[in-house]
Amino acid sequence: MDENLNLWHIARTQFERAAPFIDDLHGWRGIAEWLFEPERTVRVTLPVVMDDGYVHLFTGYRVLHSQVLGPGKGGIRFHPNVDEDEVKALAAWMTWKCALVEIPFGGAKGGVQCDPTALSSEEKQRLTRRFIAALNHDIGPHTDIPAPDLYTDEATMATVYDTYAMMHPGENNLPAVTGKPLNLGGSHGRAAATAQGVVFATEHFLEVGGMPGLSGLAGTTIAIQGFGNAGRNAARLFHDAGAKVVAVSDTKGGIYDPHGLDLAAVVEHKDSTGSVSGVSGTKPLAPKEVLELPCNVLVPAAIENQITLENVDRVQARLIVEAANGPVTPAADVQLAARKVALLPDILANAGGVIVSYYEWVQNLQNQQWEEHDVVGRLRSKMHRAVEQVVTRCAAIRQGLNGYSEAWSAARPTEPPLPPPNLRTAAYSISLERLRLATKQRGVWP
């Protein structure tokens, strides 16, 4: 069966599945459209002088999805798949993520369509400068604040900061971008924050009894797809917490050792060869094979649309923790729920990145630098609280399902029946409820 892998369509499907579980449906439909559609979509053409002297044109996007709860917040990615629908979906997920973990930000995202692996660091820097200059007043510390994402890092954020600061002399520009290097207004704990949040979420989900038979990370087997900022740090932190990382992968392939990988050897191999493939004593895997191994917890930490109708039947993990944004499609979600495979959704599991970005922004506004244990302690509390809220909400909507189903059928008589609610639907329902309340409190201007 074919499935629609357009990310904006996927975001819509997820939104529609949660909408019936929002309290106070009265007047909801008009507000729902407002909460779903992006506030602003900007497309820019970027001429960049390449190292060979030729000018190459790139296309960039920045979507400000919502400012209902605060200024837009979201990363910038460099990737060949970047297009308007992808950036719109990623921006919407940021809105729902920030609402879920109760930080005073809306959602945004940006991207440039390019092959980052083919760019020299100088070309990447020129591209970043041109992108930030082209966005001009569309970003800023109180309107829309960028951060790192796929194939961008703290060096890219240093360039974003420098470019923005050149365009706004005489101001405190540090809060205009997060994920900066530590000595340039960055925060302790930001580099590993996404992965740290993934580990805190997984650990606490097990502690609160989310997976009968698994009460903690000690001895739990983990497979991770992707070995960049999110995947590499997650491997290290899961290992430090007592779990056994049995497989990791990147674009070139994967490696598997059922007894647990020697992570120091994997990191050294990745740094010296550019890939995790080929570490001695490990079984080689094709890039997507990592998703189908026997393990307790699977952590997709690469890109979107990795677990689809095509391979969902072969997933053997009992728990999926979405470090990446959008790695599991709505159709695969339904199949996993039917097989009682639990899933911690992206807007919950990978929220650690934006939570510590928020802490960085607060520190920058106050010209302060917090201690690492302070940042990590605050992150742990926020992740634990969000996990508890989502687990509780999921149980509540499952219990009250009949009442909700009737409300849904009455509101949308021609729509197909709702799939059984899962943790994603529960997380969305909390976020949308908070956004719904904020729009009600603020009113619709004018």
Residue whose structure tokens are 């909801």: 28
| Interface characters, 179-218, with ligand NAD (x: CB under 6 A) | ---------------x------------------------
CB of 110 to ligand NAD, least distance (A): 12
d(CA 385, CA 289): 34
CB of 268 to ligand NAD, least distance (A): 15
- Contact status, residue 161 vs residue 364, Cβ threshold 8 Å: no
What tokens were used for 118?
């083919």
d(CA 155, CA 173): 17
Task: Choose which of 71, 110, 141, 148 interacts with ligand NAD (CB under 6 A).
Answer: 148
What tokens were used for 392?
């509780």
Asked if 322 is part of the footprint of ligand NAD (rule: CB under 6 A), the reply reads no
Provide the 10 A C-beta neighbour count for residue 252. 13
Task: Choose which of 61, 105, 151, 358 interacts with ligand NAD (CB under 6 A).
Answer: 151
**C-beta of 127 vs 214, nearer to ligand NAD:** 127
d(CA 235, CA 224): 7
Asked if 287 is part of the footprint of ligand NAD (rule: CB under 6 A), the reply reads yes
Asked if 324 is part of the footprint of ligand NAD (rule: CB under 6 A), the reply reads yes
Q: What torsion, rounded to 10 degrees, do the Cα atoms 360, 363, 368, 369 define? A: -30
What tokens were used for 92?
């919407």
**Which span (158-166, 226-234, 362-370, 374-382) binds ligand NAD, by CB under 6 A?**
226-234
Asked if 253 is part of the footprint of ligand NAD (rule: CB under 6 A), the reply reads no
d(CA 236, CA 261): 11
**C-beta of 264 vs 411, nearer to ligand NAD:** 264
How far from chain centre, in Å, is Cα 123?
26
CB of 367 to ligand NAD, least distance (A): 24
Provide the 10 A C-beta neighbour count for residue 104. 13
Asked if 108 is part of the footprint of ligand NAD (rule: CB under 6 A), the reply reads no
DSSP state letter for 418? P
Asked if 225 is part of the footprint of ligand NAD (rule: CB under 6 A), the reply reads yes
CB of 305 to ligand NAD, least distance (A): 9
**C-beta of 46 vs 230, nearer to ligand NAD:** 230
Residue whose structure tokens are 């990615």: 77
**Which span (48-56, 60-68, 296-304, 333-341) binds ligand NAD, by CB under 6 A?**
296-304
Identify any residues that bridge with 321 across adjacent strands, giving them in sequence order.
344
CB of 80 to ligand NAD, least distance (A): 10
Q: Can you tell me whether residue 248 is helix, strand or coil?
A: strand
- Contact status, residue 62 vs residue 133, Cβ threshold 8 Å: no
CB of 288 to ligand NAD, least distance (A): 7
- Contact status, residue 201 vs residue 348, Cβ threshold 8 Å: yes
**Which span (34-42, 208-216, 223-231, 438-446) binds ligand NAD, by CB under 6 A?**
223-231
Which positions are catalytic? 109
Ordered DSSP codes for 288-318: GGGGGSS-SEEEE-S-SS-B-TTTGGG---S
- Judged by CB under 6 A, the chain residues 325 through 364 that form the site for ligand NAD are 325, 350, 353
**Which span (49-57, 180-188, 301-309, 379-387) binds ligand NAD, by CB under 6 A?**
301-309
Task: Choose which of 21, 61, 227, 404 interacts with ligand NAD (CB under 6 A).
Answer: 227
Asked if 302 is part of the footprint of ligand NAD (rule: CB under 6 A), the reply reads yes
Q: What torsion, rounded to 10 degrees, do the Cα atoms 61, 349, 233, 282 define? A: -110
Q: Which residues bind ligand NAD (CB under 6 A)?
A: 148-151, 194, 225-231, 249-251, 287, 301-303, 323-325, 350, 353
